[in-house]
Amino acid sequence: MTAHATRRTTRLVSASAAVLAMLLCPLAGCGVPSDDAVRVIDAAEVPYRLLDDPEQTPSAGPAPEQSLTAHLYWVDPTEHLVARTPARYCVATRAEVVEEILEQLVAGPPEEDRVAGIGTALPPEEWVTLLELDGDTARLQVSPNDAIGAGRVTLAAAQVVLSVTSIPGVSRVELLRDQGELQVPLPDGELATGPLGASDYAALLAAPDDTPPTATPGSDVSCPSAAAPEQ
């Protein structure tokens, strides 16, 4: 190698070292030690969390949402409504979830709840059936039934509305008779027509501030190894 080439190579190495020093300047505080002594740098002074263990760094993504199941609402001894998880069942569509919830309401609370004084205002035979599921609104057909006393109609309507709107994806219930709007009593005694939501009967809940119980093993509403119910 010629002397000219040697000088050119030396200049390139020196230039590369200068660039490297400039890049490291923000990391090392622009101070380059002149000896070979080992120095310990405080981890807090290392920028960009370069010393963090990537396996222990929490993910910045959103936390997974908790899966909820539908609930059945029954009447307690104080004439308020309490939520219970339904019996296990297997369905394929959201409409079938509505039908199943209505069937379990007709069947009444389980024996252990009856012993504890939990009951129902619904008649023992079919009173409401699903006409159609339109978006988040379940339209139900109501059949005339003399088994429901005048003072229990509000509780019966509340049981249906609260139970059906607890189904994920269903937020409103419309009660119809002969395809026409039905006047439905509210807790304050007023009559309402059109779609009703859970908030319309919140005053009848035994503990309005309590959230309904979450699903427990053995009470899943979806089929094993199946996707969530579709509409």
Other C-beta atoms closer than 10 Å to the C-beta of 140 total 21
| pLDDT of the chain, 231 residues: tens digit per residue | 544 444 444 443 344 444 334 433 444 444 445 555 555 555 555 554 555 554 444 333 333 333 357 999 999 999 999 999 999 989 889 999 999 999 999 999 999 999 999 999 998 888 899 999 999 999 999 987 766 777 789 999 999 999 999 999 999 999 998 878 889 999 999 999 999 999 999 999 997 665 554 434 334 444 544 444 555
> In total, how many domains does the chain have?
1
Residue 40 located in a structural domain: no
Nearest to 139 by CA among 91, 196, 190: 196
Residue 219 located in a structural domain: no
Count of alpha carbons within 13 angstroms of residue 167, beta-carbon side:
32
Domain that holds residue 192: 72-204
The model's pTM is 0.64
Residue 81 located in a structural domain: yes
Residue 92 located in a structural domain: yes
Residue 48 located in a structural domain: no
Residue 17 located in a structural domain: no
Residue 130 located in a structural domain: yes
Residues contacting residue 202 through CB under 8 Å, at least 6 positions apart: 208
Residue 56 located in a structural domain: no
